[in-house]
Amino acid sequence: MSVQDKTPQMSRRGVLRAAGLAGAAAAAGGQALAQAKINPAKLEPGKPDPTITDIQDWNRFLGPGVEAAPYGKPSRFEKETIRRNVAWLTAGTESSINFTPIHELDGIITPNGVCFERHHGGVAEVDPAQHRLMIHGLVDKPLVFTMDDLKRFPGRINRPYFLECAANGGMEWKGAQLNGVQFTHGMIHNVWYTGIPLKTLLNEAGVKPNGKWVLVEGADSAAMTRSIPIEKALDDCLVTWAMNGEALRAEQGYPLRIVVPGWEGNMWVKWLRRIEIGDQPWAQREETSKYTDLLADGRARRHTWVMDAKSVVTNPSPQKPLKHKGPNVLSGLAWSGRGAITRVDVSIDGGKNWQTARIDGPALPLCLTRFYVDFDWNGQELMVQSRAMDSTGYVQPTKDALRKVRGLNSIYHNNGIQTWLVRANGETENVEIS
Ligand code: MTE
Ligand code: CO
């Protein structure tokens, strides 16, 4: 190290020492932290803390200028906040899934770069200038829109909604499987959408009286296709081109996607190119052999579109173990496809006792809702659970209660209560107790 390098470091230490401040600063810091009941791990009274007294490079040298990142990225120290997949779940990555790192996020909005992806034929790289949206079938006036047409159509709105894949937690149906909330609950994202109500476009085309069903089709190689009942289409579906204020990401269906609030993610067709009006459902693959639930008696539930109320504790969880005794903040997410979250209860003893969590931020219908419990951990083993309630009065069931009704064959629509076992050393594990 050159003398030049060392000078500022020396001089600040020198000043602190000369004024007798190093110990005082540590002591004052210790006192303030002690008041907050948080153990000042690094501060030993009388000893200077190098993270305070040493001058770091970032404090000494000029940083990169404004031209360095025309489109910014997260800090390089946040490299754990990434989507992850589970390689053995699928044969390849084109028809596959990855998971939102919900244990690394806070609040209710999912940043665009980490929204989980589910593709059946890879990501379509659609040129917006070559993209068209067609509306045809049982309509008075078939229509074709360019992206520009849609963006100047009157009546644009903005709405935040969660999207949950019906298979979220599917691997957990028969018992605890995957050790991480990212993998057990991460087939979900929650973003602000900008677009036109589907109703507005359908009114423009004029739906004939016998038009009872809407087919939505994607422009990807999988040509994902689903039937939506006209009541839902006219209620709150959106034709969207933006998420969280910017154009949709290619992974999320750029340049156009249908948003079907509160309903299973599979219906939210990406790269939306065609809307057909018919008088009955089309019985596509995704609504017959897939996205139906085989019951114990051999019959299958179908048209199970709505995502029931659900919640999960994201911290602590296996990827985010408890690290400190004393004050801790337990945090989690709750959502319902039937309305708003009205209450979330949390148990730390496996469901024997419950306390009501603190909801912070808006509790909007069909949108992720954030909850917290501020608690003291004395190092005892915990069985952490959460239980959501929504505005219809529905209470999130245990997995046992779900299996009693649905049998053992299901994959989709697992909204059972999750249990995390926190061991005495803080390590946290996916377990099942009810
Ligand atoms: N739309 C098209 N065109 N192709 C697809 O493979 N996958 C569906 C749905 N829409 C899919 C699609 C499924 S199963 C889900 S869960 C959601 O998109 C996933 O949306 P995301 O990739 O934004 O997370
Ligand atoms: Co899905």
Helix (H) or strand (E) holding 17: helix 3-18
Q: Please report the pLDDT score of residue 404 as a whole number.
A: 95
* pLDDT the model gives residue 29: 41
Residues with CB under 6 A from ligand 1: 115-120, 163, 165, 189, 218, 220, 222, 224, 251-252, 265-266, 268-271
253 C-alpha vs ligand 1 centroid, how far in Å? 8
In CATH, the number for domain 84-301 is 3.90.420.10
Enter the pTM of the model: 0.90
The H-assigned helical ranges of 206-335 are 230-235
DSSP category for residue 108: S
If you measure from the C-alpha of residue 252 to the centroid of ligand 1, how many angstroms do you get, rounded to a whole number?
A: 7
Task: Considering every ligand atom shown, identify the ligand nearest to the alpha carbon of residue 223 and give its number.
Answer: 1
pLDDT score of 1: 31
Q: What is the predicted pLDDT for the residue at 9?
A: 36
| Higher-confidence position of 97 and 289 | 97
**pLDDT reading at 326 higher than 50:** yes
Among the residue ranges 103-107, 282-286, 421-425, the one predicted with the least confidence is 282-286
pLDDT in the model for residue 164: 98
For residue 14, what pLDDT is reported? 35
Nearest to 251 by CA among 93, 416, 422: 93
| Two structure tokens written together for 290 | 């897939």
Q: Determine the distance separating the centroid of ligand 2 and the alpha carbon of 296, expressed in angstroms.
A: 23
Atom of ligand 1 nearest to the CA of 115: 24
- Nearest CA, atom 19, ligand 1: 118
DSSP labels for 283-312?
Answer: --GGGTTSS-EE-TTS-EE----BPPPEEE
Question: What is the per-residue pLDDT across 114-164, written as a single tens digit (0 to 9) for each?
Answer: 999 999 999 999 999 999 999 999 999 999 999 999 999 999 999 999 999
Ligand 2 center to residue 166 CA distance, Å? 6
Alpha helices, DSSP H, located in 116-224? 147-151, 181-185, 198-205
**For residue 271, which atom of ligand 1 is closest to its CA?**
3
Q: Give the Cβ contact number of residue 61 at 10 Å.
A: 7
Mutate to test the pocket of ligand 1, among 94, 102, 120 (most ligand atoms within 8 A of CB): 120
The CATH code belonging to domain 310-431 is 2.60.40.650
Least distant ligand from the CA of 269: 1
Across all residues in the chain, what is the average pLDDT? 91
- The answer, yes or no, to whether residue 252 has pLDDT greater than 50, is yes
Ligand 1, pocket-test mutation among 94, 119, 271, most atoms within 8 A of CB: 119
Do residues 314 and 181 touch, judged by C-beta distance below 8 A? yes
Average pLDDT over residues 209-222: 98
Say how far apart CA 101 and CA 115 lie, in whole Å.
8
Ligand of minimum distance to the alpha carbon of 116: 1
pLDDT band at 406 (very low <50, low <70, confident <90, very high): very high
Would you list the domain boundaries of the chain? 3-60, 84-301, 310-431
pLDDT of residue 13: 37
Report the distance separating Cα 144 and Cα 17, nearest Å: 75
Average pLDDT over residues 245-262: 98
Q: CA-to-CA distance for 173 and 411, rounded, in angstroms?
A: 6
